[in-house]
Amino acid sequence: MGLDPKVIESIDEFKAKKARDKFVLFLPLVLAVMFVLAIIVLNVFARGYFNRTYTTLHNINNAWVIIIRMLAGAALIALIAWWGFNLYAAVRYAQGRIETFLTLQTNDYDKAGYMVYEDAAGSASIAAGVQQPGIAIFDDTAANAAAFVDRLGNRMIGVTKGLLVAGLSVGEATGVMAHEVAHLIIGDNVKPPEMFDAEFLPSLLIILYGVLAALAVLTAPRNDGYLVLVTIVVAVIFLVLVLIQRSKRFLVKLLDLAFAHDDILADSVAADLTRDPDALVSAIKKVSALATKSDRTPGGTILARYMFVTYPTASGDYVRYATQIGSQLLTGGKQARTWFSFSGMMDEATREIYEQEKGVTRDRLVNLDLIKQGKWQAINSWNVD
């Protein structure tokens, strides 16, 4: 068995769209980096030109040359030592959250319930034609599940202790696991954070631009007009990039990219695998009713958007925020973030994401109802007028 070609086509389109969105979002940053690289190359040719056309009138005062280049050198040191360290700390913090999440696994769980979900994962994997993921049990009384990749790169499905004893039928359990298998196939699951992830890439590109901009000033010829022009241009572009990165529109799109999780597509794939959308509807309703039994999410609210049923607990839960206890254990009460997140716009963006998440469960049920009518909204060429 295996995925229907239409399903594969839809998954490929989802990945392609995500790549396009990422390209468009980061394009200004990438173009800025390329532009400042071009200035550095131009400096080489300009130096030779001004050496050949040297006049006292066109040569800037040595004191001003020293001041401008000292400022550029200070900016270079600040970017590497301060912002670079903050970015590194943010990545390490995010990795620490995943480590905390992984350590919440337990061997004290209902064995009969475990077998139901292991068999369900096997059935969904066979239907999809993929290798069965590992099953991990998390010490949480809430009923929920999440797909993730562990530190060794193994594809896993985490199931809470509460889900094992939630009384779901075999068909409902299969629907839950098919949904999580679908997320692993799509690739929008929890994974160990890396420096080049969408969450951190804007900060990385800003730092790279700043370093190259400082080098552009340091390597500019000692000509008054040229040096001042280069300094003003790279400074203005830097300011524009920072303003873009702190804008609400940019941050909302960044959060969606960084924590992409298409439950509608995953449900559609799961319905195709199980051929039982009614069981998936029933599972969503039952887990929704039980999901808030616990006041925490395994690993903190970092995983709120990745769970089988999303239940946002507060505004701002999607930027690697931790639970209060987890935060104290990891950072002494401080929550490291990417440097750009210290902004009122970030709070507004996370509130908007929070509001969007409130309607996810309703949208999923509507989608599954349409599927039962033969209207596969998320699967290419399966739409029915």
Residue 265 has pLDDT above 80, yes or no: yes
Q: What's the pLDDT score for residue 293? A: 66
Q: What's the pLDDT score for residue 109? A: 87
Residue 315 has pLDDT above 60, yes or no: no
Residue 337 has pLDDT above 50, yes or no: no
Helix boundaries (H) for 246-373: 248-258, 263-274, 277-290, 324-331, 344-358, 360-372
Average confidence score pLDDT of the chain:
79
pTM: 0.83
- Which candidate, 290, 305, 307, places its Cα nearest to that of 168? 290
Q: Hey, what long-range contacts does 118-126 have (CB within 8 A, 24 or more apart)?
A: 119/170, 120/170, 120/173, 120/174, 120/176, 120/177, 120/178, 121/157, 121/177, 121/180, 121/181, 123/174, 123/177, 123/178, 124/174, 124/177, 124/178, 124/181, 124/270, 124/273, 124/274, 125/181, 126/1
Q: Residues 187-229: pLDDT tens digits?
A: 989 888 888 888 888 888 988 898 888 888 888 887 777 878 8
Of 250 and 67, the one with more pLDDT: 250
What angle is formed at CA 301 by the lines to CA 298 and CA 302, rounded to 5 degrees? 90
Q: What's the pLDDT score for residue 260? A: 76
Q: What's the pLDDT score for residue 275? A: 92
Q: Which residues pair with 158 in a beta bridge?
A: 136, 146
Q: What's the pLDDT score for residue 280? A: 96
Main-chain phi, psi angles of 345, to 5 degrees: -65, -35
Q: Residues 218-229: pLDDT tens digits?
A: 888 877 778 788
What is the arithmetic mean of pLDDT over 365-373?
92
- Which candidate, 133, 132, 156, 158, places its Cα nearest to that of 143? 158
Each domain of the chain, given as residue ranges in start order, spans 1-385
Q: What's the pLDDT score for residue 380? A: 65
Residue 1 has pLDDT above 80, yes or no: no
Q: Residues 44-85: pLDDT tens digits?
A: 887 767 665 555 444 555 666 677 777 777 777 777 777 777
Q: Which residues pair with 371 in a beta bridge?
A: none
Q: What's the pLDDT score for residue 22? A: 92
Query: Tokens at residue 324, please?
Result: 């209060």
